[in-house]
Chain A
Amino acid sequence: MTTMKIMGIDTATLVCSVAVVSAEKTLAEYTQQVKKTHSERLLPLIDTLLRDIGLQPQDLSGIAVAGGPGSFTGLRIGMVTAKALGQALAIPLCSVSTLAALAAQHPLFPGVICPILDARREQVYNALFAAGTPMTRLTADRALPVAELVAELKKQTKPVLFVGDAVPVYRPLLSEVLAERACFMPPESAICRAASVARLGLAQFRAGEGQSWRDLRPSYIRRSEAEVNYQQAQSKGGGSCAGLD
């Protein structure tokens, strides 16, 4: 058997990242953060990357995609692309937590790794991890108010490493509350990278956790606003949903 070649895709945030990894190395990783939609960028980027490393799509053994949390539209672009590749090429797929892929870039950090993605309305998508290979997950992926996360982090004494696209937004607050316990990375080490997604995917495939295109689903964490509003209206006894959309 030739070595496994896994493609990673991450479009959960404004970063558009594609990579191919094997057990031994990262063959290539292209990461862009420019003002163009994922829909326009992702497939050309995949095409360029595969050409550059001399591979055909059918040479891939599997595809790992950042399956959330993240921007709903962004997640869907990555997910439909992975699903269509899986369907056309008949290869296995797997969904990797966007937050786990962010945290896994820092296996040696001596403390708590805390990826935060902007979930708007003063909330972040977050999970906590303890470093190591493999790292230990301390919480489930969740959406919570920043204030709540900060309160939680204040209760313990370890240093906390913040990564993810919400860092620039909340850095002053985090530094103020946690003082020297708040640690930050340069931008290129704090963004979503597809090689990390592919590396975690490789482990999942080896553990027999590959899925078919039929079963692959994003993990939005949040319901759509319309569903939330509808449920609130129902529980208040009102049946009206006029003007919801």
Chain B
Amino acid sequence: MKKNLILGIETSCDETAAAVVAAGKTVLSSIIASQIPIHEKYGGVVPEIASRHHLEMVNEVIAEALLQANCSFADLSAIAVTHGPGLVGALLVGVNTAKTLAYALKKPILAVNHIFSHIAANFLVHEVRFPAVCLVVSGGHTSLFYLTSRSEAALLGATRDDAAGEAFDKVARVLGLGYPGGPAIEKAAEAGDAGAFTFPRAFAGQDDNYEFSFSGLKSAVINTLHNLKQKGQTYRTADVAASFQQAVVDILVEKTCLAAEAKQVKTVLLAGGVAANGALRQQLEQALAAAGRTLLYPPLELCTDNAAMVAAAGWDLYLQQKFAGLDLNAVPVLDNLWQVK
């Protein structure tokens, strides 16, 4: 029998994913069936459609992950699954698949918090020295954490309304750039002037405040475009995209640097789908380097939703024997990172 293999399963939003990871570190396989093309025409993820596709794909993706990892169900030490936060109907597919497999195979069930799994993506590729500060930015979350180990985190602050990724999606929609918005805005912004428009940066310049807000920024972009159209003035989409992106990056950089300084950490981690944004990576890296700090982030394929990060986060639960019961449920809103039933 092979040792320390965790099967990870992820169905919290629009990717159906499964992966096999050895000892929370070595990715033996990571399979992702993306639904992005399916939801594109609706301009966002439709929960019922997402749930239906997860159901069709989840067992296939698991079989493929085992095949590519060259292992069988019997080789697994445990099965880890995202149980929240996320779309409840989508989560239910992964949760019930994982716990039923675990039950039939007599393996432990590991209930993983989605946000924390994004952080854990870093553990797959970096030897992280603690303590560290981590900025998680994705379509669903914008949060700053203080980490003292692989499995101990304290929330410093989070968004009060929209997540950064959500703002990217909405602004991209208004600009007619398509879905998902993150990559579309980044691409458009390359040819734009980031100083062409001045958009608000919520809570900027406030020490000891690690909260974010992006709904005002989104509204400001929409109002600006509306006013220009009313006056019959033209504008360059690239300039709007670049100015908007700069406003997001500025506030993320400012708050992250503030947290790193307050906590006096040497290492800062970046995680989540928006961590794939080149402008954010580059500017955050520069700002931190100026203060002698190192920025770590996962490769692109581990930034967006995947199951390798779920297996990595599950590994720490496995070591602590924090196993979930057969009555494990999906939790759409999950504030406590360590909530295990």
Q: Do A and B come from one complex?
A: yes
- Find the B residue at minimum CB distance from A244: B42
Digitize A212-224: 1 where CB-to-B-CB distance is under 8 Å, 0 elsewhere. 0110011010001
A40 on interface, CB distance cutoff 8 Å = yes
A73 on interface, CB distance cutoff 8 Å = yes
A204 on interface, CB distance cutoff 8 Å = no
Q: Tell me the bound Cα distance from A79 to B95 in angstroms.
A: 13
B289 on interface, CB distance cutoff 8 Å = no
In the complex, how many angstroms separate the beta carbon of A223 from the nearest chain B beta carbon?
Answer: 9
B29 on interface, CB distance cutoff 8 Å = no
In the complex, how many angstroms separate the beta carbon of B97 from the nearest chain A beta carbon?
Answer: 5
Contact A80 B329 (CB under 8 A): no
In the complex, how many angstroms separate the beta carbon of B47 from the nearest chain A beta carbon?
Answer: 7
**Neighbour of B326 across the interface among A43, A85, A88, A218, CB < 8 A:** A43
**Neighbour of B60 across the interface among A214, A218, A241, CB < 8 A:** A214
Q: Tell me the bound Cα distance from A224 to B49 in angstroms.
A: 7
Q: Tell me the bound Cα distance from A100 to B266 in angstroms.
A: 65
Contact B49 A88 (CB under 8 A): no
B58 on interface, CB distance cutoff 8 Å = yes
With A77-B92, A218-B55 already in contact, the answer to whether A43 and B329 are too (CB < 8 A) is no
Contact B100 A88 (CB under 8 A): yes
Contact B104 A73 (CB under 8 A): no
**Neighbour of A76 across the interface among B55, B60, B100, B327, CB < 8 A:** B55
Residues from chain B with a CB closer than 8 A to the CB of A30 are none
Contact A88 B92 (CB under 8 A): no
Contact B93 A80 (CB under 8 A): yes
A209 on interface, CB distance cutoff 8 Å = no
- Find the A residue at minimum CB distance from B11: A80
Query: How many chain B residues touch A (Cβ–Cβ < 8 Å)?
Result: 39
In the complex, how many angstroms separate the beta carbon of A111 from the nearest chain B beta carbon?
Answer: 37
B31 on interface, CB distance cutoff 8 Å = no
With A41-B327, A73-B92 already in contact, the answer to whether A226 and B49 are too (CB < 8 A) is yes
- Find the B residue at minimum CB distance from A82: B100
B44 on interface, CB distance cutoff 8 Å = yes
Q: Tell me the bound Cα distance from A244 to B173 in angstroms.
A: 13
Contact B96 A39 (CB under 8 A): yes
Interface residues of A in 14-58 (CB under 8 A from B): 37, 39-44, 46-47, 57-58
A242 on interface, CB distance cutoff 8 Å = yes
Contact B99 A88 (CB under 8 A): no
Residues from chain B with a CB closer than 8 A to the CB of A122 are none
A245 on interface, CB distance cutoff 8 Å = yes
Contact B42 A43 (CB under 8 A): no
With A39-B329, A43-B100, A224-B52 already in contact, the answer to whether A76 and B92 are too (CB < 8 A) is yes
With A40-B329, A43-B96, A242-B43 already in contact, the answer to whether A76 and B59 are too (CB < 8 A) is no
Q: Can you list 5 A-B contacts (CB < 8 A)?
A: A39-B96, A87-B62, A88-B73, A88-B101, A226-B46
Interface residues of A (CB under 8 A from B): 37, 39-44, 46-47, 57-58, 72-73, 76-77, 79-81, 83-85, 87-89, 213-214, 217-218, 220, 224-227, 230, 241-242, 244-245
Interface residues of B (CB under 8 A from A): 41-49, 51-52, 55-56, 58-60, 62-63, 73, 89, 92-93, 95-101, 103-105, 173, 325-330
Beyond A73-B51, A76-B92, A76-B96, list 7 extra A-B contacts (CB 8 Å).
A39-B92, A46-B103, A47-B326, A87-B59, A226-B42, A230-B41, A245-B46
